[in-house]
Amino acid sequence: MPTKYAILQENEQDPQKTSQEIAQELEIFLSPLLMMLNSFLDKRLLRTLVQCCVAIIRFRNNKQGLLLSELGSYMDNYRGLSESAAAGTKRLGNLI
């Protein structure tokens, strides 16, 4: 008999697995755009575009604006600020 409040088992709540699945869904959603841009842009810039979209989705909310330098710092590290914020910001500048 099912319980009143269904609670997932510990292995079904793996945040790393869920994050990877959502990232794959985002890549599938962006794939038509990425395929079109592939003929015009370098693959490193396409990777930057995908990382930028992931960072925008993860760190944008109503109370916090997202500056270009902050976005560059969030691109490489999925747990928060990256050590190479300047490099990420420069890659975003190249993409733009």
Assess if residue 34 is contained within a domain: yes
pLDDT in tens, 10-42: 556 677 787 788 888 988 999 999 999 999 888
Assess if residue 55 is contained within a domain: yes
Quote the pLDDT of residue 93: 80
Assess if residue 69 is contained within a domain: yes
Quote the pLDDT of residue 19: 76
Q: Which residues are CB-contacts of 22 (< 8 A; sequence separation ≥ 6)? A: none
pLDDT: which is higher, 61 or 23: 23
Tally of structural domains, the chain: 1
pLDDT in tens, 67-83: 777 777 777 654 555 56
What distances in angstroms separate CA 75 from CA 19, 43, 52, 88, 91, one per listed residue? Answer: 15, 16, 6, 6, 10
63 pLDDT band, cuts 50/70/90, is: low
Expressed as residue numbers, the domain containing 53 is 17-95
